[in-house]
A and B are shown apart, each in its own frame.
Chain A
């Protein structure tokens, strides 16, 4: 296999997949870090976002124009889900919220299955030929995906570093009691976190859908890689989630060199167990709950 073949058939798809995982993993790491529980409805929230975008595309929008609308819609859904199903569990052990989120995952998926059916769908039909950039083959949608991920990561990093509310979020992640003492309104921060997480879910679901196809199990199937990415990078660390996402995505595409192709989905699990065994704080020193 030539170097270019390796690049085009393994590394580039790995990076595209990895950056989609990264967007999902950022959401997981924010919930894990700030609200302190593993959010199992994350994947199915992404599915919902992908299908909301599909409804908009069917109504006449272009896919990339549908993305921001779907992000806003799922942001609202995430806030509502929190108010209805998670918020009242605040005072109970966090694992109860984990369980509630598993129930929400099932409910969101059922909604998608009832409304959109269970057959695979796509945003656009037809085969898109990739363009040649100095030997590297890239489709437009892959370029846009990478660009969108870079924009999201830069925007979120700036927001968390410099804005008032971003600092409040980080404060709550570091020490919720101390944050409350310093006048941070935990309720508002929680709401803001869910809005961001919902939007990120929709984005990851959409990008997963546009680079492949949409089906009702798509989100559940990427939940494990996204969790692996978040823990690999270090829980609570946005840069960590990006790094973890890329590693998991590339590792999945590379796994076919050592594993039969059917076991691609096992890669994330192996990485997860390895990092828990060797360095549970993650590569970039996150939290261990």
Chain B
């Protein structure tokens, strides 16, 4: 590979890392600071992806959309849509231990997948949505990639700064109090359920935004583009390995895991076809095993939560 090709690849990777970093930050709000188990990340990602795609894409026959609205509207809509799905789920499940939320989020991700596949008038069915505009998309390949990277990096930075600010504010202390000792926090008059719902909805909105960034990057989206289990699971590993409860850890984890995941894909693609399929699933096995090893030997992650405290509760 020549130098230019390498640079191209690096920019491409960096954009995806940025998108995954947003997802990991969203999960960090939910799990890292509040202890909520979201096992349906792919669902909120998909909601955001389709919401923005439908609002901003070029008109096409046979499906809703083609409003050609400005990108910012699409991105805001992706956050609102993901939050709107998260709210009722959280409202019902957050009264109980986080296990129930985990089950329900698996369910909602599955249903979102069903809706996307079935409701062709809305989502284009299996053909998906194409003709999604991309900011600076009419530049040459390299400048356009770099410009998109700048947009993604800016959004990640904004999200990071906002979340950091919230975590250092009294709100963050209250969230950790709720996570680490729910009864004590409730006894102090903190509204445990309402706060958890807040964290769940905010985190999901960030995931929705990541979905929007993903479709505008690809200019199209199909149901196959989002593998529910693997997408969800990769984000979890990113956060746990990077360090849950630490925003820099979440971003670092996104970079480390995404690089390992893509490089291993490059390697397995070079194998002869007979073993290539098996190698593909062996990679999934290794990702699962990595989680077990991290949980066992470094549960606090590479960059542990900064303040001394107990590991995440619930």
Contacts and interface: CB of A to CB of B under 8 A. Distances in A.
Contact of B285 (A94, A111, A266): A111
Given A89-B295, A224-B106, A276-B96, A40 B229 contact: no
Interface string B69-97: 00000000000000000000000110111
B212 interface: no
B96 A99 contact: no
Given A95-B314, A110-B284, A265-B114, A38 B103 contact: yes
Contacts of A258: none
A266 B113 CA distance: 11
A95 B103 CA distance: 12
Given A106-B233, A107-B285, A276-B100, A118 B107 contact: no
Given A94-B99, A99-B37, A220-B229, A110 B118 contact: no
B277 interface: yes
Contacts of B296: 88
Interface of B: 35, 37, 39, 92-93, 95-100, 102-104, 106-108, 110-111, 114, 117-118, 229, 233, 236, 240, 277-278, 281-282, 284-285, 287-289, 291-292, 295-296, 299, 311-314
A102 B314 contact: no
Contacts of B35: 93, 95
B314 A273 contact: no
Contacts of B92: 273, 276-277
Contacts of A266: 110-111, 114
A95 B285 contact: no
B292 A103 contact: yes
Given A93-B312, A95-B37, A114-B278, A260 B118 contact: yes
Contact of A93 (B100, B108, B313): B313
A6 interface: no
Nearest to B284: A110
A40 B289 CA distance: 15
A288 B114 contact: no
A99 B295 CA distance: 9
A13 to B, nearest CB: 20
A113 B118 contact: no
Contacts of B102: 38, 40, 95, 98
8 smallest A-B Cβ distances: which pairs?
A110-B285, A107-B288, A38-B99, A269-B107, A106-B288, A113-B281, A103-B291, A110-B284
Contacts of B110: 224, 265-266, 269
A98 B289 CA distance: 15
Interface in A141-165: none
B114 A99 contact: no
Given A110-B282, A114-B282, A220-B229, 14 more contacts: A92-B311, A93-B313, A96-B295, A96-B299, A98-B99, A103-B288, A103-B292, A104-B292, A106-B287, A109-B284, A224-B107, A263-B114, A263-B118, A269-B104
B291 A95 contact: no
A262 B111 CA distance: 10
Nearest to A224: B107
Interface string A266-281: 1011001100110010
Contact of B291 (A100, A265, A268, A289): A100
Contacts of A123: none
Contacts of A118: 277, 281
Nearest to A107: B288
A265 B296 CA distance: 35
Contact of A272 (B107, B117, B299): B107
